[in-house]
Structure 1
Amino acid sequence: MIKFNFRLPEDLYDRAKAAAQADDRSLNSWLVSLVRHAVEQGATPDHLDGDPATPDPPRGSRHSTRP
């Protein structure tokens, strides 16, 4: 098993921890199940504006707000 650091904003951490508890799982187990489901379904999350984990669009793209 691989170990790595995973950073979450505090508010998201609190909500994820509560969701894991409601599902009677550890936070780690709950997150593993979400990642497994996304990978198996071939799903990719939508990139939301303002999400620090979302890379900036390439310069010149129709979504770019930079000159």
Structure 2
Amino acid sequence: MDHEVRITLRLPADLHEWLVSQAKTARRSLNSEIVYRLESERATVEAETESP
């Protein structure tokens, strides 16, 4: 990451609990889990956009 931006994010409690659980399973911080999932989704969308 070249530049980081700090944001405040409001999540439904059940989504937060699920993300915390997923992060623990993957041995990542909650922040890292959210970034990992967003980057993965972005890569998927970009790949779909590039395909004819």
Q: Which TM-score bucket, shorter chain as reference?
A: 0.7 to 0.9
Amino acid at match of 1:23: A
Deviation per residue, 1:4-61 (Å, 9 max, x gap) = 0111111110111011001000010011010001111117xxxxxxxxxxxxxxxxxx
- Segments of structure 2 that go 5 or more residues without pairing to the other structure are 47-52
RMSD, aligned α-carbons: 1.2
- TM-score, normalising length: structure 1: 0.59
Task: Give the aligned partner of residue 47 of structure 1.
Answer: none
Select 2:23's aligned residue among 20, 33, 36.
20
- Segments of structure 1 that go 5 or more residues without pairing to the other structure are 44-67
Amino acid at match of 1:6: L
Count of aligned pairs: 43
